[in-house]
Copies of this chain bind each other. A is one copy, B any other.
C-alpha cells in the first residue's frame, strides 16, 4: 500500500513536469485489487503541494473514502467506473494536455497516421459521444465514465486511451506510472497528428505497415524491448 501511495504521488508530480497540465488540472490514480481500493489525487491541490498524506484512498465497490482526510479529485467517479468495468486496469491518468484536448473539443478521434501512433495504440483514440442533459444534471462524473464505456464497447486493451468529448483524454495501463506514460504518448501523437493534418487533411498510412508496427511491440510475436514489464 505504501508503494502504491508513492507511485501515485510520483505519477501525479510528473503531470506538470511532462507539460500535460497546469495549476491543479489532471489526476492520476492507481489500484490495489487485493484491498479493493484505488488511490487518487485530492481535489484542487497544486502538484507541488502533494505528499503521500494528501492522497485519497477510495473503495472501488462503493466509492467510499477509506483513507486520507481530503476529498478525492472530482473526476474520481470516472476513474471508479473504469476500474469496475475492466479488471485489467491498474492505473488511470486524466490530463488537459493541449493537443489531445483540441481533438476532444473538435469531437474527433485521433486517427492512426503513422507508426508513432501504432507503436502504442491499435487503432484510433476514440472520442466519446456527447453526454445528454440528464447525464450532465446528475452523477455527471459517473456518466462521463458510462459514455467512455459505451465508446470502448467492452475492449480496453487495444487502445488504452479515450477522449471525453469537449473535455479531454483519459489513459490507463497496468500501473499508475504506465497510465501516465500513455498520457505522454497520447499528447505526442495528438500533436504530430495536428501537424500532419495541416500538411495533408486526408493523410492515411498503409494498413499493413500499421499492423506490423503494433505487433512488433504487442502480442505473442512482439520483439521490442528488454525489460520484463515491457513484454
Contact = CB atoms under 8 A, between A and B. Distances in A.
Given A44-B230, A224-B43, A166 B98 contact: no
A195 B44 contact: no
A133 B192 contact: no
A193 B199 CA distance: 10
Contacts of A226: 42-45, 70-71
Contact of A105 (B105, B168, B203): B203
A163 B185 CA distance: 21
Contact of A102 (B44, B101, B199): B199
B74 A192 contact: no
Interface stretch (A28-36, A80-88, A151-159, A208-216): A208-216
B105 A205 contact: yes
Interface residues of A, number: 68
11 contacts: A25-B116, A98-B192, A107-B203, A108-B200, A132-B208, A137-B208, A140-B212, A140-B216, A167-B209, A167-B213, A197-B199
Contact of A206 (B22, B104, B130, B210): B130
A225 B44 contact: yes
Nearest to A113: B105
